[in-house]
Amino acid sequence: MAMTQGVQKNTLYVGGLAEEVNESILHAAFIPFGDIKDVKTPLDQATQKHRSFGFVTFLEREDATAAMDNMDGAELYGRVLTVNYALPERIKGGEQGWAAQPIWADADTWFERQQQEEEMRRIETENRAAMQAAEDLHRKQVAEQREGEKEEESETKEDPMAKAEAEGLQQ
C-alpha cells in the first residue's frame, strides 16, 4: 500500500469524537498502545469546543500503527472512531486560501508576478487609450461627413430668387 507523501506516521488523526471526550480521555484511550508524545483536540473558535476530531502523536511509529489498526472503527463514548495517519498541518495563506506550504515559499516569484501584472495593466491602459482615440477620430469624421452633406443640401435647396439676387449684386 503506497502512502501519500507528507504523511506523519507517528501522528494519528482521530475522527468521530463525542463532545464529552477531552484530551485526557483521548490520551487514556490510546496509551495502551505505547508512549504518547502529544494529544491535541483543535477547538472551534466560536464554540470553544473541539471540532469532533483530534491528533495523537506517539513516540514510536510502530505504536501509532498498532493504535490505528486497533482503534479504527472502535467505539468511544458511543461514537465510532475513524483513525488514520495524520497529514501535515496546513498553513493559512496562499492563493488557494489554504496552502500546504508557507506563504513566503513563493516570495521569489511574487515580485515577478507583480511586474507581469503591472505590465499587463500598462498595456491594457494603452489599448484603452488607443481605442478611445480611434473612436473619437471616427466620430469626428462621421460628424464632418454629415456637415458636408448638409452644406450640399442647403446649396441645392437655395431659393431661386435669393440666388438671382446674389448674382445681380455680384455684377
pLDDT bin (cut points 50, 70, 90) of residue 5 is very low
All structural domains of the chain with their residue ranges: 11-85, 109-153
Q: Percentage of the chain surpassing pLDDT 90?
A: 49
> Using the 8-state DSSP alphabet, how is residue 105 labeled?
G
Q: Burial level of 11, CB count in 10 A (0-12/13-18/19+)?
A: buried
Homologous superfamily of the 11-85 domain (CATH): RRM (RNA recognition motif) domain (3.30.70.330)
Q: What is the mean pLDDT of residues 27-38?
A: 95
Lowest mean pLDDT among 103-107, 130-134, 158-162: 103-107
CA atoms of 49 and 47, how far apart (whole Å): 5
Q: What is the pLDDT of residues 70-119, one digit of tens each?
A: 999 999 999 999 999 988 765 454 444 445 555 566 666 777 788 888 98
